[in-house]
């Protein structure tokens, strides 16, 4: 068994929490991703070719899967924390012997479970629309897990920082959404003008999606090892920040 | 053994000194009351004991474990019933209690969970979602959550605020039983008669400072014992009896006096002396001093 009973219980509770409202937390984002595919795939199929031998719809599917993984991982930890803070029931976790490290890991792992579940669901319903290949399945798994962990951690940080729902919404709308949409979900960054190409290289989300896509097609904008290094470093920095916030009790233990 | 050791705890919120050097020692097995008006610092102190708030200075130990440095051991020894009526709307009563038990490292704890639910009359609500419970029922679940890991020290912050008589009786019966079995109980309440009935020792807080700390019986003795209130129509209190007056400032000269008595045998002696001094009494009343008298006196004066 991994970790203490307390840690496993918190993972279970955070997973059960989203499972109990699966229509909202799993089915709805799958439907949204499918709508993106139907609309963008229909409009752009045949007009845009990103990689040789790969249709636009096939190119789009991994992007949509990864976008769903990222957004839902973020939503899980951030919404759970802010709701618990505002309704006051976070006290049930804060009163326990759980360490800051255990709290961090449990929230992040539960966020990863939701992100991966939604991502898998999106893949299952969208893969019918294009011929998909799996060149390097391990890269697919590695980038999906790392991306989910990063966004789960970002959700944790946002949930700790935000004291009101609108602060969390601002975090989501002004940071997470732009970083996701401008990361190459719908296009290859090589189709961008030089300025925006450079800007895109500063977006860590780009490396997650690009590396993830490499697993499917064996082709990417950036060498996957470079992406792996950047994404891993980003996760380490965010995890250290989140653990530091939890250890200091910032906005949790006043 | 000392259950809770609080040494020089200070806490400041900007310009407000919430706690100004509080020191207290609560022994194992005690039923201890923490009293004071709103804003006295009771909840802040409890939150520091529970690790929900960090003190600016000073230390708190639970069964010898410091609450920040050795928080794992300290929190395992402690069960806290928070004042706010909080709950997680995603879960049923049983799920809530199982989760809380799991956080404390007790995954297979259904026997004790069933016993706690039975003692708090929650058994028939076990599979009800928390959202569907009444306020009183939610309060019972809060108590159950605090007890789910059988903590040797139980802290209840206003557990009976806004709840019906039935719950109070159920709760006190169960908490008294736990106290008899050796659990240390610390209680804050606005219901002073409740504190008087339950607590063997109390601390009174005022503006973040301990202004009284003693056993309940000693506190009641220290203030006045009982009082004989006499209403006179003729004559005045003899000079040699004026030291018995408990509230000189409120005495109506020649009309009404509250006189301290230590036992009921003194009533007859006082009446005899008053008759001998030519006093005619048209009304009299015997009043037992209670915690409320002490509380009001301390809060007025700052200390006994």
- CATH number of the domain bearing residue B267: 3.30.70
Is A95's CB within 8 Å of B75's CB?
yes
B226-234, strands of its sheet edge to edge: B256-261, B226-234, B280-288
- Which residues of chain A make contact with B95, given a CB cutoff of 8 A? 16
Domain coordinates of chain A in residue numbers?
Answer: 5-248
Is A4's CB within 8 Å of B105's CB?
yes
- Site of tokens 């360490």: A99
Q: What percent of chain A has pLDDT over 70?
A: 99
Confidence of residue A187 (pLDDT cuts 50, 70, 90): confident
- Tens of pLDDT, residue by residue over A128-144, are 999 899 999 999 999 99
DSSP-derived 3-state class of residue B283: strand
User: B206 and B230 in one domain?
Assistant: no
User: B120 and B99 in one domain?
Assistant: yes
Calculate ∠ Cα A198-A201-A203, nearest 5°. 125
Q: What is the DSSP letter of A136?
A: -
- Which residues of chain B make contact with A245, given a CB cutoff of 8 A? none
**Chain A: residue nearest B55 by CA?**
A254
Handedness of CA A142, A147, A152, A156 (dihedral sign): positive
Task: Give A1 to chain B, closest Cα distance, Å.
Answer: 13
Tokens at residue B93, please? 């009563």
- Site of tokens 């203030």: B223
- Tens of pLDDT, residue by residue over A215-234, are 999 999 899 999 999 999 99
- pLDDT over threshold 80, residue B194: yes
Task: Give A249 to chain B, closest Cα distance, Å.
Answer: 8
**Chain B: residue nearest A81 by CA?**
B88
User: B46 and B143 in one domain?
Assistant: yes
Asked if residue B162 belongs to a domain, the reply is yes
Q: What is the DSSP letter of A252?
A: T
Confidence of residue B301 (pLDDT cuts 50, 70, 90): low
| Distance (Å, whole) CA B145 – CA B285 | 46
Say what the pLDDT of residue A239 is. 98
User: B252 and B213 in one domain?
Assistant: no
- pLDDT over threshold 70, residue B42: yes
For the residues B50-69, what does the mean pLDDT come to? 96
User: B134 and B276 in one domain?
Assistant: no
Confidence of residue B252 (pLDDT cuts 50, 70, 90): low
The residue of A1, A3, A11, A13 whose CB has the most chain B CBs within 10 angstroms, and thus the best one to mutate to test that interface, is A13
- Which residues of chain B make contact with A94, given a CB cutoff of 8 A? 51-52
- Rounded to a whole number of angstroms, the distance between the first and last alpha carbons of chain B is 28
Q: Pairing relation of β-strands B226-234 and B280-288?
A: antiparallel
The residue of B46, B70, B100, B102 whose CB has the most chain A CBs within 10 angstroms, and thus the best one to mutate to test that interface, is B102
Say what the pLDDT of residue B222 is. 65
- pLDDT over threshold 80, residue B175: yes
Residue B84 has its nearest CB partner, among A8, A88, A98, at A88
Is B86's CB within 8 Å of A95's CB?
no
- Which residues of chain B make contact with A4, given a CB cutoff of 8 A? 105
Asked if residue B304 belongs to a domain, the reply is no
Q: What percent of chain B has pLDDT over 70?
A: 94
Show which of B220, B242, B269 is a domain's final residue.
B220
Say what the pLDDT of residue A191 is. 82
| Distance (Å, whole) CA A110 – CA A101 | 14
Report which of A166, A147, A151, A149 is spatially closest to residue A63, judged by C-alpha positions.
Answer: A147
Asked if residue B300 belongs to a domain, the reply is no
- pLDDT over threshold 80, residue B284: yes
- pLDDT over threshold 60, residue A30: yes
- Chain B residues within 8 Å of chain A (Cβ atoms): 50-54, 71-73, 75-76, 78, 80, 82, 84, 86-91, 95, 99-100, 102-107, 145
Contact between residue A102 and residue A6 where contact means Cβ atoms under 8 Å apart: yes
Contact between residue B177 and residue B151 where contact means Cβ atoms under 8 Å apart: no
Query: Considering only residues 78 to 107 of chain A, which have any Cβ-Cβ distance to chain B shorter than 8 Å?
Result: 84, 87-89, 91-99
Does A22 contact B at CB distance below 8 Å?
Answer: no
Is A97's CB within 8 Å of B84's CB?
no
- pLDDT over threshold 80, residue A89: yes
- Per DSSP, the residues of B205-272 read EETTEEEEEEEHHHHHHHHTSEEEEEEEEES---GGGGGGBS-GGG-BTTTEEEEEESSTHHHHHHHH
Task: Give A116 to chain B, closest Cα distance, Å.
Answer: 22
Contact between residue A180 and residue A67 where contact means Cβ atoms under 8 Å apart: yes
Report which of B126, B123, B124, B120 is spatially closest to residue B170, judged by C-alpha positions.
Answer: B120
Domain count, chain B: 2
User: B134 and B256 in one domain?
Assistant: no
DSSP-derived 3-state class of residue B102: helix
- CATH number of domain containing B131: 3.40.50.300
Q: Pairing relation of β-strands B153-157 and B78-81?
A: parallel
Task: Give A135 to chain B, closest Cα distance, Å.
Answer: 41
User: B36 and B74 in one domain?
Assistant: yes
Task: Give A22 to chain B, closest Cα distance, Å.
Answer: 12
Does A9 contact B at CB distance below 8 Å?
Answer: yes
| Distance (Å, whole) CA B84 – CA B157 | 9
| Domain of B9, in residue numbers | 2-220
| Distance (Å, whole) CA A78 – CA A85 | 11
Say what the pLDDT of residue B253 is. 62
Task: Give A247 to chain B, closest Cα distance, Å.
Answer: 10
**Residues, chain B:** 304
Q: How many beta-carbon pairs under 8 angstroms link A with B?
A: 78
Report which of B73, B36, B70, B68 is spatially closest to residue B52, judged by C-alpha positions.
Answer: B68
Q: What percent of chain B has pLDDT over 90?
A: 57
Task: Give B146 to chain A, closest Cα distance, Å.
Answer: 9
pLDDT averaged over every residue in chain B: 89
Asked if residue B295 belongs to a domain, the reply is no
| Distance (Å, whole) CA B207 – CA A236 | 45
Cβ neighbours, 10 Å, residue A194: 7
For the residues B42-60, what does the mean pLDDT come to? 95
User: B281 and B162 in one domain?
Assistant: no
Query: Considering only residues 194 to 233 of chain A, which have any Cβ-Cβ distance to chain B shorter than 8 Å?
Result: none
Tokens at residue B266, please? 């003194």
Report which of B71, B74, B101 is spatially closest to residue A247, judged by C-alpha positions.
Answer: B71
User: B237 and B170 in one domain?
Assistant: no
């Amino acid at each position: 068994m991994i970790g203490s009973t307390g840690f496993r219980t918190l993972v279970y509770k955070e997973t059960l929490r989203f499972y109990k409202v699966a229509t909202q937390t799993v089915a709805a984002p799958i439907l949204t991703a499918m709508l993106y595919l139907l609309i963008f795939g229909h409009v752009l199929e045949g007009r845009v070719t990103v990689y040789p031998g790969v249709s636009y719809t096939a190119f789009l599917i991994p992007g949509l899967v990864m976008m769903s993984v990222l957004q839902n991982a973020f939503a899980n930890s951030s919404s759970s924390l802010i709701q618990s803070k505002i309704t006051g029931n976070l006290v049930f976790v804060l009163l326990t012997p759980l360490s800051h490290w255990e709290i961090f890991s449990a929230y992040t792992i539960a966020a990863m479970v939701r992100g991966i579940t939604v991502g898998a669901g999106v893949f299952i319903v969208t893969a019918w629309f294009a011929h998909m290949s799996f060149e390097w399945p391990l890269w697919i798994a590695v980038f999906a897990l790392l991306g989910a962990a990063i966004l789960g951690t970002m959700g944790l940080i946002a949930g700790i920082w935000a004291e009101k729902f609108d602060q969390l919404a601002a975090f989501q709308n002004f940071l997470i959404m732009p970083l996701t949409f401008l990361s190459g979900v719908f296009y290859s960054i090589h189709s961008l003008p030089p300025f925006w190409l450079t800007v895109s290289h500063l977006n860590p989300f780009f490396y997650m999606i690009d590396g993830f896509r490499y697993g499917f097609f064996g082709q990417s904008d950036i060498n996957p090892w470079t992406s792996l290094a950047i994404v891993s470093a980003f996760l380490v920095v965010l995890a250290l920040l989140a653990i530091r916030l939890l250890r200091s009790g910032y906005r949790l233990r006043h | 053994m000392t259950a809770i050791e609080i040494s020089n705890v200070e806490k400041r919120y900007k310009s407000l000194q919430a706690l100004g050097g509080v020191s207290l020692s609560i022994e194992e097995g005690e039923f201890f009351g923490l009293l004071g008006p709103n804003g006295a610092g009771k909840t802040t102190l409890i939150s520091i004991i529970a690790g929900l708030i960090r003190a600016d200075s000073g230390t708190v130990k639970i069964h010898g474990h410091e609450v920040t440095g050795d928080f794992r051991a300290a929190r395992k020894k402690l069960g806290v019933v928070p004042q706010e009526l909080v709950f997680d709307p995603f879960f049923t009563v049983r799920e809530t209690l199982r989760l809380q038990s799991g956080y404390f490292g007790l995954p297979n704890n259904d026997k004790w969970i069933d016993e706690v639910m039975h003692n708090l009359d929650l058994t028939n609500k076990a599979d009800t979602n928390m959202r569907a419970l009444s306020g009183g029922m939610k309060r019972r679940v809060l108590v159950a959550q605090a007890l789910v890991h059988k903590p040797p020290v139980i802290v209840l912050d206003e557990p009976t605020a806004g709840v019906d008589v039935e719950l109070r009786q159920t709760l006190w019966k169960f908490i008294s039983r736990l106290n008899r079995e050796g659990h240390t109980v610390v209680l804050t309440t606005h219901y002073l008669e409740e504190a008087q009935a339950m607590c063997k020792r109390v601390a009174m807080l005022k503006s973040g400072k301990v202004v009284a700390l003693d056993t309940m019986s000693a506190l009641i003795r220290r203030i006045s014992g009982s009082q004989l209130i006499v209403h006179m129509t003729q004559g005045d209190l003899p000079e040699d009896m004026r030291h018995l007056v408990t509230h000189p400032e409120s005495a109506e000269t020649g009309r009404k006096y509250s006189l301290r008595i230590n036992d009921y045998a003194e009533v007859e002696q006082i009446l005899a002396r008053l008759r001998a001094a030519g006093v005619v009494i048209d009304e009299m009343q015997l009043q037992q001093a209670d915690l409320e008298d002490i509380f009001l006196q301390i809060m007025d004066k700052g200390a006994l």
